[in-house]
Structures are given as structure tokens and as C-alpha cells.
Structure 1
Amino acid sequence: MNHQAEAILYDGKSSVPQNITIRLNKNRHSFTFETAAISKNEWFIKDVIFETYDGGFQIQFQGEDAIEIIKIVDVAFINHVTVFRKENGHENWYEQLINYGFKMHMVLALIIFALIGLTYIYVIPWFGEKSVAIIPESYDDKLGSTFVEQSLLFSEVDSDKTKSLNAFAKELQLNNTNPLHFIYVNEDVVNAFALPNGTIVVYSGIVNKMKNYDELVALLGHESAHVNERHSMKMLCRNLSGYIFISAILGDANGVMAIIGDNVNSLQSLSFSRKFEEEADMKGFQIVTQNKVDPKGMSNLFKRLESNGSMSIPQFLSSHPITKERIKYINARNINKNYTIQENAKLKKLFLKMKQ
């Protein structure tokens, strides 16, 4: 059964609307009507655009010379057309979405919020980390130097032990492509950290916890790996990823650097991701064995710091979280003894000098 209704046609050519009778042809899935100029017009449902408005709806068709519009207010005809379109898959995705019930709308809203949350937690930080590629390494030097000037101004730098620490590091192959600089600070702080410019700060508090020079080699190897892999810059970019994301999208590399520069003071308190810590452990282990130093020093240092953290968490543990999994990883590498250990009297002497 076909249905019909009285409607108004705007043919896009004349400013005068025309009264017509429009019919729904269910067999051909089309609308038909007559005008004074053309005895029969036929618009296929798949070719027209449906829009609702107060009091009715309209269908729009792109003719040869102009856009033609038919406005319909007959409620019964509108209902027939609506049901027919729904039953025969003529509704667009937006109309189908509108027709879903409240529960489905809530589910879709939750899915959208979940996607936004996952994007914020995982995608944008990943993008922030990858944005390090657009930051020249020369900026690492500037950033690290600024931090040293601001943060170590009131620290007690021990010049003699700094010389010993640099002499100690000079005896090692640390696999660095850029120069490394070492600073020894006399503070009872169990901490050490690496800056983007290759400066590695070691506090007397962590050296005093060590029993053997192989532990200091492990520490320097670990921190050097952070420098070599630009972990500080990557974590800083991850933490500031929201701001950096917008600046990078706008192609504002200077904006990225300005954001990072404004947050230079957060370098010391960066908490490295598990991925970065595992990478630094692996690279650090390679440095230790490459220098023919006993790699047990690395696991011994980690165990010592872990046990020390049971009463009050050292700063080193807050920025370099030591997990049992990491200790197990080092111990597992120790089992596969594909390395040579050779006592180094010079390293031992320099280590003892720093312990005095």
C-alpha cells in the first residue's frame, strides 16, 4: 500500500512555492509527485536528505539546476515514511544513533569517556616521549646547565672527591657519545641522578651505603645509560605531554622548548618509567661487565637500597623505584657468566678515597 499527503515544493528556481501531492512508492523506494512543468517527478529515498523541523519534516533533493525541497506536515504520512525507512535500512548513522534508547546512549557515552581517558593516559604521553626527536641534543646541554646553576648553588660540592669521582669514571668505558661530568655532593642524602647534559650528581649518602667499588661502577653505569638514552628528556616530555602535544600539533618547536625550560626544576624528582629503568639496568649491566667488574655489585647495591628503604624511603628509591623483579633480573644475568672479572686496584683506591 502506498501513502500520500499534501505538501509544499520549493523548486529552487522560483520564489513561489507549489502545492503538490506527494506519494510514497514502497515498491520502488521512492517519492513521486506532479508539478505544472513536469507531469511526474520521482525522487529515490537513497538520493534525498531528511531533516526534521517544528511541525513536520522536509526532504531535500539535488536537482540538475538547483536544490529542491519538499516540506510535509502530515503526521500520518511522516510516520509511514519513518517506519518504512527504518524497516528498509534507509536511516543514516545519526538517525540510528538518535533512535537508540537511553541505556545505549549511556553506554556510548561511557565508551567515549573511556577512549578519551585511555588517550590521555597512554597515547598523549607516548606522543610526548616521541616528541624528543624534534628537540636538538644541544638543548639538553642548556637545560642541564641551567639546572646545575639553580639547584646546586647551595649544595656542598666536595671538589676533592669530585676529582676522585671523575678520575674513577675516567677509568671506565661508559658507552657515552657525549661528554659526561660527575659532581660529588657532601650531603647525607641517599641519591644520585643524571641530567640531560651529561652531568651526573652523586651524594655522599649513597656512596657511604656502598661496601665495594663495584657498586659505584654499577651506579655510574646505570646513570650513564639514562644520559645515553635521553631518559630525563623523554620522561620530562611524557610528564608535560599535554602541553607539548598542543605545541607540536601547531608546529611550535620553540614552544615545546619553552615549556620544558619552565619545568627544569622537576628534573631531579623525575620518576622513571619501568621501561626506562629496565633499559638502564640492561645497559648498566653491559657497562659493568664490559669493564670486567663484578656485576654482583649492581644487585648488592639494589638490595642494600631496598632494605634501607624499609624504614624511610631514600630519594634514590623514589626516583628509581627498585622492585624485586629488577633484582631478580640482575641476578638472572649473573647466573649466565659470559663475562670476565678482573680486580682493579686503581678503582678500589679511588673508591676508598671517596669513602674517607
Structure 2
Amino acid sequence: MNTFQIKYFDGVTSAIQEGTVKLSYGHWDIRLEKPDGTMSSIHWQLKDIKQTEFVGNTNIFKYGDFPQQTLECNDPDFVKALSLQYPDYEFFKKEYFWALNKGTGVFVGITVVLLLLCVGVYKYILPSVAESLALTVPQEYEIKWGNMMFENMIQAPKKGEMGSELNLTKNDTLSRLANQFVKEIDFKTTYPIKITVVNEKVVNAFALPGGNVVVFNGLLKKMKTKEEFAALLGHEVAHVTHKHSLKNIFRSLSGYLFMSLITNDLNGITAVILDNANKLQNLGYSRELEAEADESSMKTLKENKIPTKGLLNLFKILEDSSQVAPPELLSSHPLTEERMKFAKKNQIMNEKIIENPRLESIWKEILIAENKL
């Protein structure tokens, strides 16, 4: 029998298609079932079928140039049928046959070693590779993904409806004022920064890829000065500008994203990110990324002639809040001793400040709006 059940990947999307392959003279005949129940046919010329791979009992074949088509078959008789049908054609490396000829024990041993290597790559190497790949994503895609995530998280307030953990309710007045505030500060970024204040009592804030920054009203209520708010925005905007948010997402979802990345399936990446959007707002940043964001925030304060005590006071707010109930902000932005030391060391005493009347005026409007809530 020369017909076998297979799984087929077209190399353009991550979709799996079920079908059969028939071993014919000089080529393989592949028949696939479409979603509407009809059948389609593909012919693979023997000379263009690439070297095989194998995972356990599954044989994997590639065809054509990039993006390559892929065929998987786990029928144990498939290898034997290939040898009989094409005795002069070498599909397998000699090492593969060597392993098979040594018996089941050796083959199982090699399989176990390969599986362990795969686990190691998946757990330790793949997240780092995925994080590096985040730097190659064009800004327009990052903005698109961030906006789609934002729409998944934020809902327009409805009469009689409260915001929930996953569907945050926007405060239109405070959001409008916050966006006026942010326009008075030069963050040296090419991203379109948009601030959204949501009606939540928890002390939290997070940045999404592409420029959306969400501030929880519970944190805003604890701020007394415009310098503290400027320091917070400087920190979150830095996470956007340095692609920290995107790096975190790629690292967290590296296993899911890997196949979409290597097949250049950007629609697949979008689907994975949106499916996990509500899980991504509280991803923790590494110490290195937090330190970089702190440095950028301090630099923003200095360059805009805003008192640098704002960053230190922001950390004190978080520290005081954690004594009552741990702020959610600290779960994703751990307040380490090193961060406190950095803020104290880099605070400039008797610094030259250029007052921005517009910034002060907007901050007073924010305080007034807060008192009316």
C-alpha cells in the first residue's frame, strides 16, 4: 500500500490540514480536505523534497524554497514504503538509518536525549531568542498590536455597570487631562503616547506595546505633586520606547509565537497576542529593564527641568502603599533596594527648575477632578 495519512502545512500560515499522500513514480500526490468538504491536490516532485527530520515516530519532510511546505507522517510503514518505492533515492541521513539498525533501545535513548534538548531550548533559549526578535518588529505592527490589546482590555463605561478585573472602565475626564499633561513633556520618543486613566482602586499602571499607557485611579489618588506623575509617565513611556513591553510579551509567549515567527505568519502572532491580552498586563519586568526605565525617567525629568525628587517620591508612595496592601504595580515593577538607591543618588539638590505654568495648571485640574469622584 502506497497511500498514507498525513498532516500538511503550507508554509504561509500556521493552519494544519489533514490529508493523504500517495507515493507515485517521480513524485508524491497529496490530497487535502478543504473546510467545505471538497478535496484539493498538490504534487511534490521527488527532486525538490528536502532532507527529512524525525520526532519520535513522526517523519517530517520539507518541500520547495522559503517558505517551505511541510508534510508529517507517523505511520511506521512509511519509511519502509519509501525504501521500496525509491530504492535509489536517499531521503535519510546515514546516521538516521544507523540509529534504526541499532535497535529500539538506542533509538529510544536518542529520542529521550533529543526531547531533553528540546525542553532545554524551549525553557531557556527560546525565550531569549523571542525577546531578541521583538526588536525586529516594525513599529507599525507594534502600534497595531498594542491598540488591539488596549481595545480588548478597556470598555466604554455603561450606566449601572462597574469595571471588572479584565474589562477596565475608562475615566474620560482624567484621561483627557492626563493626555494634556503628557503633551507638555518631551519624552524623546517616536511612539504616539496615549494615557488612559481607569476607575480602579488598586495601585497600578502598565504600558502596552506601541504607546498606550494605562494608569489606575488608585495610584493617581495617592500622588500629591506633578513631579510624581511625570516620573511615573517617564517610567512607563520608557517601557514603550525601549520595547520592554513587547519583549516581555514575546518572552512570555515564546512557545506559541515561535512557529508564527519562523513562518512569517504575522496574523498568527496577532491572534496569539489577542488571545492572551488580559494575561499580559501584569507581566513582571526584569531588574535590567526596570533599571533602564528608571534611568530614562530620571533623564526625562532632568531634560524637561522637572524636579528629580519626583521619582524618589513615587517610590515612597509605592513603599508606603505596600505596608497597607501590596500594590499590583510592585508585582510587575518590583521596587528593589537598588532602584531606591538610584533615585536617591541621582536626585539633584538645588537644581535649576524652569516652571511650566501649563503643566502646573493641568495638574491642578487633575486634583480638582479627583476630589469630585
**The two structures share one fold, judged by TM-score above 0.5:** yes
Post-superposition CA distance 1:56-77 (Å, at most 9, x none): xxxxxxxxxxxxxxxxxxxxxx
Matched, 1:340 2:352: yes
Q: Distance in 1 between matches of 2:254 and 2:347?
A: 37
Matched, 1:180 2:193: yes
Aligned with residue 210 of structure 2, among 170, 193, 197 = 197
In structure 2, what is the equivalent of residue 218 of structure 1? 231
Q: Distance in 2 between matches of 1:129 and 1:338?
A: 41
- Identity over the aligned pairs, expressed in percent? 40
In structure 2, what is the equivalent of residue 331 of structure 1? 344
Please say if residues 140 and 197 of structure 1, whose CA atoms lie closer than 8 Å, have aligned partners that are also in contact.
yes
In structure 2, what is the equivalent of residue 235 of structure 1? 248
In structure 2, what is the equivalent of residue 146 of structure 1? 148
Q: Distance in 1 between matches of 2:233 and 2:135?
A: 25
Please say if residues 278 and 326 of structure 1, whose CA atoms lie closer than 8 Å, have aligned partners that are also in contact.
yes
Q: Which amino acid aligns with 2:298?
A: F
Q: Which amino acid aligns with 2:185?
A: L
Q: How does 1:299-314 map to 2 (within 5 A)?
A: 299-314=312-327
Post-superposition CA distance 1:284-318 (Å, at most 9, x none): 11111111011111011112202211231111111
Matched, 1:260 2:273: yes
CA separation of 1:114 and 1:330: change in aligned 2, threshold 3 A: farther
Quote how far apart the aligned CAs of 1:256 are. 3.3
Please say if residues 289 and 339 of structure 1, whose CA atoms lie closer than 8 Å, have aligned partners that are also in contact.
no
Please say if residues 214 and 294 of structure 1, whose CA atoms lie closer than 8 Å, have aligned partners that are also in contact.
yes
Please say if residues 135 and 257 of structure 1, whose CA atoms lie closer than 8 Å, have aligned partners that are also in contact.
no
Q: Which amino acid aligns with 1:240?
A: L
Please say if residues 149 and 274 of structure 2, whose CA atoms lie closer than 8 Å, have aligned partners that are also in contact.
no
Q: How does 1:283-322 map to 2 (within 5 A)?
A: 283-322=296-335
In structure 2, what is the equivalent of residue 103 of structure 1? none
- SS state of the match for residue 309, structure 1? helix
Post-superposition CA distance 1:157-206 (Å, at most 9, x none): 22222221111111110111021111122322211111213111222211
Please say if residues 135 and 243 of structure 2, whose CA atoms lie closer than 8 Å, have aligned partners that are also in contact.
no
In structure 2, what is the equivalent of residue 164 of structure 1? 177
Post-superposition CA distance 1:108-163 (Å, at most 9, x none): xxx99997666444321110101214433222222222222222214442222222
CA separation of 1:264 and 1:136: change in aligned 2, threshold 3 A: farther
Q: Which amino acid aligns with 1:141?
A: I
RMSD: 3.0
Please say if residues 183 and 201 of structure 1, whose CA atoms lie closer than 8 Å, have aligned partners that are also in contact.
yes
In structure 1, what is the equivalent of residue 160 of structure 2? none
Please say if residues 153 and 277 of structure 2, whose CA atoms lie closer than 8 Å, have aligned partners that are also in contact.
no
Aligned with residue 208 of structure 1, among 217, 221, 227 = 221
Q: Which amino acid aligns with 1:344?
A: N
Quote how far apart the aligned CAs of 1:236 are. 0.4
Q: Distance in 2 between matches of 1:150 and 1:243?
A: 19
Q: Distance in 2 between matches of 1:133 and 1:254?
A: 18
In structure 2, what is the equivalent of residue 24 of structure 1? none
- SS state of the match for residue 233, structure 2? helix
Q: Distance in 2 between matches of 1:315 and 1:256?
A: 28
Quote how far apart the aligned CAs of 1:267 are. 2.8
- SS state of the match for residue 310, structure 1? helix
Q: Distance in 2 between matches of 1:350 and 1:266?
A: 33
- Structure 1: unaligned runs, 5 residues or longer: 1-93, 95-110
Q: Distance in 1 between matches of 2:181 and 2:313?
A: 19
Q: Which amino acid aligns with 1:348?
A: E
In structure 2, what is the equivalent of residue 10 of structure 1? none
Aligned with residue 352 of structure 1, among 353, 356, 364 = 364
In structure 2, what is the equivalent of residue 129 of structure 1? 131
- SS state of the match for residue 321, structure 1? coil
CA separation of 1:251 and 1:150: change in aligned 2, threshold 3 A: closer
Q: Which amino acid aligns with 1:325?
A: E
Q: Distance in 2 between matches of 1:156 and 1:355?
A: 20
TM-score, structure 2 normalization: 0.60
Q: Distance in 2 between matches of 1:201 and 1:163?
A: 13
Please say if residues 209 and 304 of structure 1, whose CA atoms lie closer than 8 Å, have aligned partners that are also in contact.
yes
Q: Distance in 2 between matches of 1:199 and 1:251?
A: 25
- SS state of the match for residue 179, structure 2? helix
Please say which structure displays the higher CA radius of gyration.
1
Please say if residues 309 and 347 of structure 2, whose CA atoms lie closer than 8 Å, have aligned partners that are also in contact.
yes
- Structure 2: unaligned runs, 5 residues or longer: 1-97, 99-112, 156-162, 369-373
